[in-house]
Amino acid sequence: MATAILIVLTVAVHPRLFAQNLLGGVVYGLVLALIALGLALILGLLGVVNFAHGGLFMLGAYGAYEIIAMQGLPFWVAFLVVPLAVGAVGVAMEVGVLRRLYGENPLIGLLATFGVFIMIEEATRARWGGTPLTFDLPAVLQGSITFGVGRIATIRLLTIVVATLVIVGTYLLMYRTDFGLTIRAGLQDREMAGFIGIDIPTRFTIVFFLGSAMAGLAGVLRGAETGMDLAMGFEYVLLAFVIVIVGGVGSIFGSVVAGLLIGIGVFVAPVMVRALATATGIDALAVPGIGGIVPFLIMLAILLIRPRGLFGEEGLLE
C-alpha cells in the first residue's frame, strides 16, 4: 500500500521523469533478465554456479567493439555473429572445464568458473585495454521516437524487441517442444532422465551454448547503449545472481519477473524518493545512489519472506 501511494505521488509530482525512468528500468530489466535467464538455465540444469557468465557478457560487448570499431564491419554483423561466438566460447568452457566437475562439490565449480572469469577479464584487458570504450551505431539506431509524455531512443526500442523475442522464444523452447520437455526432465531428476535414454551430456552442452549466447547478446545490446568497461562483467553477474535468487533458482519465469522488478526498481526508486522529498520539503529523504542498493534490498526482503525465491521450488536455499 505504501509503495502504491508513493508511485501515485511520484506520477503527480514528476510525471515525465517517472515515465522516462520507468521505460529505462524496463530496458535495463530486460537486459538483466537475458543474462539471468542464461545463468538460471545453467544453474538449474547443471548445478554449476557459473561465475564466468559475467565474463561471457563482457565478451559480447567487447566482441561487438572489435567487429564494429576495429574491423569496420556493420553493427548488424556484430549483432548476429557475436552471440554465436560467445556461445561457442561457452561450449568450449563447458567441455574443457566444467564437464569434469559435474557431481562434485558446487564450491569447486564456483572456484573453477571464477578462475575462467579472471582469465577472460585479463584477456580482455590485454586485447582492448582498461579504458572505457564505445562504438558508433548505424544511423537507424541513433534517433529516438516520441511516445506519450517522453521519448525512447531507438537502440532501447531494439533492446526491448530483441529481449522480448528471446525470452518468449526460450519459453516456447522449454515448454512447447520435446527438447524442452527433456531439459525440464533433467532439471527434475538428472539420473532418471539419463536412465530413460535422454542424452543428458549433449543437452548440457546445448543449454550451455544457449545460456552463453544470451549473455553475449545482452553484452552487445548493453555495449551499444552505454559502452563497455572492465567492471561490467563483475557488476552484471552479481546482479544476475541476485535476480536468480529473487526469482527462484531454476525458474525461467522467475528470472524474467525478478529482472524486470529489479531493473525498474533501480531506475524508479531515485525518482520516488525525490518526489517524496519534494512533497514533504525534507531534502534528506532524497538519498543519493539509492538505486544501487535496491537490488540487494529486494533480495533481502524476498529471502526473509520466501527463502526459495518468488517462483523457486523447495530445495537449494531452504
| pLDDT tens sequence across 83-140 | 999 999 999 998 888 888 777 777 888 889 999 999 999 999 999 998 999 999 999 8
- Crossing angle of the two packed helices 252-280 and 290-305, in degrees rounded to 10: 120
* The C-alpha cell that represents 230 in the structure block: 572492465
Report whether pLDDT(241) > 80.
Answer: yes
CB 39 within 8 Å of CB 246: no
Average pLDDT over residues 70-82: 95
Query: Higher-confidence residue: 318 or 56?
Result: 56
Query: Higher-confidence residue: 174 or 192?
Result: 174
pLDDT at site 132: 94
Report whether pLDDT(228) > 90.
Answer: yes
CB 134 within 8 Å of CB 61: no
pLDDT at site 317: 47
DSSP state for residue 141 in the 8-state scheme: G
Give the whole-number percent of the chain exceeding pLDDT 70: 96
Query: Higher-confidence residue: 238 or 105?
Result: 238
- Crossing angle of the two packed helices 53-65 and 200-226, in degrees rounded to 10: 50
- 3-state percent breakdown (helix, strand, coil) of the chain, nearest 5: 75, 5, 20
Sign of CA pseudo-dihedral 302, 237, 24, 220: negative
Query: Higher-confidence residue: 138 or 197?
Result: 138
Give the whole-number percent of the chain exceeding pLDDT 90: 41
Could you tell me the pLDDT band of residue 271, with boundaries at 50, 70 and 90?
confident
pLDDT at site 50: 86
Q: Which of 62-66, 193-197, 235-239 has the lowest mean pLDDT?
A: 193-197
pLDDT at site 315: 54
* The C-alpha cell that represents 300 in the structure block: 533481502
* The C-alpha cell that represents 106 in the structure block: 558446487
Task: For residue range 301-315, list pLDDT tens digits in order.
Answer: 998 988 888 887 765
> Rounded to whole angstroms, how far apart are CA atoms 68 and 79?
10
Across all residues in the chain, what is the average pLDDT? Answer: 86
Average pLDDT over residues 241-249: 89
Average pLDDT over residues 171-186: 83
Average pLDDT over residues 202-224: 91
Report whether pLDDT(292) > 50.
Answer: yes
Give me the half-sphere count of Cα atoms (radius 13 Å) on the Cβ side of residue 81.
13
> Rounded to whole angstroms, how far apart are CA atoms 222 and 225?
5
Distance from chain centroid for Cα 114: 18
Which own/partner pairs from 136-144 qualify as long-range (CB within 8 Å, at least 24 positions apart)?
136/68, 136/69, 137/75, 137/224, 138/74, 138/75, 138/76, 141/75, 141/224
Average pLDDT over residues 169-195: 80
Report whether pLDDT(281) > 70.
Answer: yes
